Amino acid sequence: NAEDEVSAENRLSDYLEANRGDGELREKIIDFARTNYLDGLVESLLRESAEGAITGSDGASAPLALARFLSERGRFDKAEKVIARFVNEAEGSETEKTQRLNQAALAYRELDLIDEAEQSIGQALETEPDNTAFLDTKSGLQVDRGKYREAIATLERIWELETDLESKTVVDQKIFSL
C-alpha cells in the first residue's frame, strides 16, 4: 500500500534524523529500505550522501552507490548521469580526477556499459599511463570484449611495472587464466 510505504519512509527518516551521525545505523536503514522496496527513502538517502560526496562504511563512493541503486531499479539514464557528475565534480588535483575516472570505469563495467567504461579508463590512462590499478581495469575490460591477446599484453605491462614478487605472482596467475 502506497500510504503504508510513505508512513514507513517517514518513520525511518525521523528515526535517522534523531540519531544523526550514526553511519552504521544509516547503512542498516538503507539496507532495510532497499530490501523492503522503500525506493523513495533509499534514493533520498543515497542522493543526500552523494551530494555530500561521502563514502559508505564499506569505503564505497556514495555517488557510485546511488548509480548502482538506480541501475538496479532500471533507471539507467539517471545512473549514467550520476557517474558522469561524480567524475566532473572532481575538485583539486588531476590525481583525484583520474582516480574518479577509474572508479567510474569500474562502475560502468558493473552496469555493463563497456563503451563508457573504456572511455573513462582511457582518459585516466592518458594522465597516468603506468598506473597498475588503471591498467588492471583496462585488462578486465579487454577480457569483457574477448580481446584476450590485448588483455595479456596489458597484464604483461603491469608485470613489468610491479616491483614486488607477490604482485608479480598475482599478475602471472591472471595471465595464466587467460
Q: Which of 142, 164, 167, 160 is nearest to 152 (CA)?
A: 142
- pTM, two decimal places: 0.72
The per-residue pLDDT for range 54-94, each reduced to its tens digit, is 444 344 567 788 888 888 888 888 889 889 888 888 777 78
The per-residue pLDDT for range 130-139, each reduced to its tens digit, is 999 999 999 9
Backbone φ and ψ of 120, nearest 5°:
-65, -45
Helix (H, G, I), strand (E, B) or coil at 164: coil
Alpha carbons 160 and 19: distance in angstroms, whole number: 50
Contact 54, 65 (CB under 8 A): no
Residue 61 DSSP class: B
Contact 94, 59 (CB under 8 A): no
Residue 4: pLDDT above 80?
no
Helix (H, G, I), strand (E, B) or coil at 55: strand
Question: What's residue 54's pLDDT?
Answer: 42
Question: What's residue 30's pLDDT?
Answer: 75
Q: Which of 136, 134, 141 is nearest to 99 (CA)?
A: 134
Helix (H, G, I), strand (E, B) or coil at 81: helix
Alpha carbons 76 and 109: distance in angstroms, whole number: 13
Contact 65, 58 (CB under 8 A): no
Amino acid letter, residue 126: E
Query: Helix crossing, 94-110 with 62-72: angle to 10°?
Result: 20
